[in-house]
Amino acid sequence: MKRRLIALLTAGVLSVSMIPMNVFADDADAPTADVSSEDENTLSVYAWDANFNIPALEAAEADYQKNVNPDFKLDIITQSGSSDVENAVTLAGQSSDYSNLPDIVLFQDHYFQQFYVSYPDAWLDLADADIDWDDFGAEKLSYSTIDDVHFGVPVDNGTAIMAYRTDLLEEAGYSIDDMVGCTWDQFIEIGEAVYEKTGKYLLCMDGSGNDLPYMMLQAEGESQFTDGEPTFATNEKYIAIIKDIVEMIQKNVLYLGNDWSDYTDQAIIGDMVAGVLNGNWIIPTMEQATENSGKWEITSLPTLEGGEGYASNGGSSLYITGNCSKPELAADFLAKTFGAGSTETYDAALKNGGVITCSISAGESDVYQEGVDFFNGQPIYADIVEMGANVPVIEQSDYHYQARQYVGTAIQNLVAAGEPTDESVAAALQDAQDQLSFEMAG
């Protein structure tokens, strides 16, 4: 495999300060890879979450051992979270010494391009890998592709689901069919009826990390950025979306949690809501409320004008590092497991860790077609893969999370100010945009 350093970079395009970092001292005890192994059949990988991503990697290891190389070994070094991996790459990049990185890292999609621009030597491309890239949704690949060159192999599917409690909809006089392709205005009307009849909110979100505006705007096929610059206040659809969000909060249609724990533990597990919208990775949290098994179904998102909307939130991919001494083995392993749409890898990853594939062909397996009891027998995993193939590609930004912070604050201020107008929403978004532009200029 040859390294390609894409000539899109100029010196100093991004400063190190742009890289999201925890205090490194806090991660001093994070496990490190034994990158000194000379075993020609062994690869090391950084990943996190023993109940999610790790079983997926173990499934791929077993698949490759069975069907390609019985002597193969994947040395999985479990990190406490994605920040450990980000910090490891940052430290290596700052010192221009990648010798302590493993052969492969699991990396968050939203962060990759930012880290590539800052540390291009940290990554090897997959230009020569035998992977059918058309088997993956274009939106998923957009995070890990630079100048038409692929760097990452998708692992987990971040496709957003709109889930509803069908029993509570029925109590308010509605059904799941009323929600498919509805407008946000209709959603608000139904949400008011649901709250009046049941005392439940039709939607919830974490106010400290509000992903709702991003997903709603992506479902419209639009981005918060244009040519790298934030365009919050000049996007009419974004103004309409933020206005709808504020109205939903004020009309008890949307519960805005104080933090992540409030969102998950109180709203979702605590049975405060009749609807959940987020990346499909929220499903295990929903399933902790076992008393609601069989009462949920999922569908696509509402949109401003009506019609089914599709979005994504979160997800990660596997990347080969610049320290990899066996790049051909690493590329072959990724190509013949996650990259091949292998039903053995993806079926086991789903069963053992709840990881939903991004591969369209893998989503056609018998395992994916099985009905899920918690969701009233709906084959949600096949449905999620199908929805993921329809998520529109929009412009992404290195400042995705900063934008989320500023827009989230704007929403809180608008809620406190009273009934929103187009003018007040535009002004609040202009303020958020100005703050982000100032940070970007620094």
pLDDT-above-90 percentage for the chain: 86
pLDDT at 24: 37
* The pair of three-digit structure tokens given for residue 219, joined into one six-digit string: 């479902």
Q: Say what the pLDDT of residue 4 is.
A: 33
pLDDT band at 26 (very low <50, low <70, confident <90, very high): very low
Q: Give residues with Cβ within 8 angstroms of 268, minimum separation 6.
A: 204, 276, 282, 285, 286, 289
Residue 84 has pLDDT above 90, yes or no: yes
pLDDT, tens only, 119-134: 999 999 999 999 999 9
Strand 145-146 and strand 149-150: the pairing is antiparallel
Q: How far apart are CA 373 and CA 295, in angstroms?
A: 9
| Measured distance CA(38)–CA(390) in Å, rounded | 43
Least confident window among 30-39, 48-57, 269-278? 30-39
pLDDT exceeds 50 at position 348: yes
For residue 161, the SS3 value is strand
Predicted pLDDT at 76: 96
Q: What is the pLDDT of residues 301-347, one digit of tens each?
A: 999 999 999 999 988 999 999 999 999 999 999 999 999 989 999 99
Angle at 132 between CA 53 and CA 50, to 5 degrees: 5
Residue 342 tokens read as 């292998």
Read off the tokens for 284.
């295990």
- pLDDT given for residue 33 in this prediction: 53
pLDDT range class, residue 30, cuts 50, 70, 90: low
Statement: residue 35 has pLDDT above 80: no
169 in Cβ contact with 341 (< 8 Å): no
Contact 414, 432 (CB under 8 A): no
Tokens of 51: 């109940």
pTM of this prediction? 0.86
The pLDDT value given to residue 51: 85
- The whole-chain average pLDDT of the chain stands at 91
Q: How far apart are CA 12 and CA 55, in angstroms?
A: 39
Domains and CATH numbers, the chain: 19-158+314-364 (3.40.190.10), 160-311+394-441 (3.40.190.10)
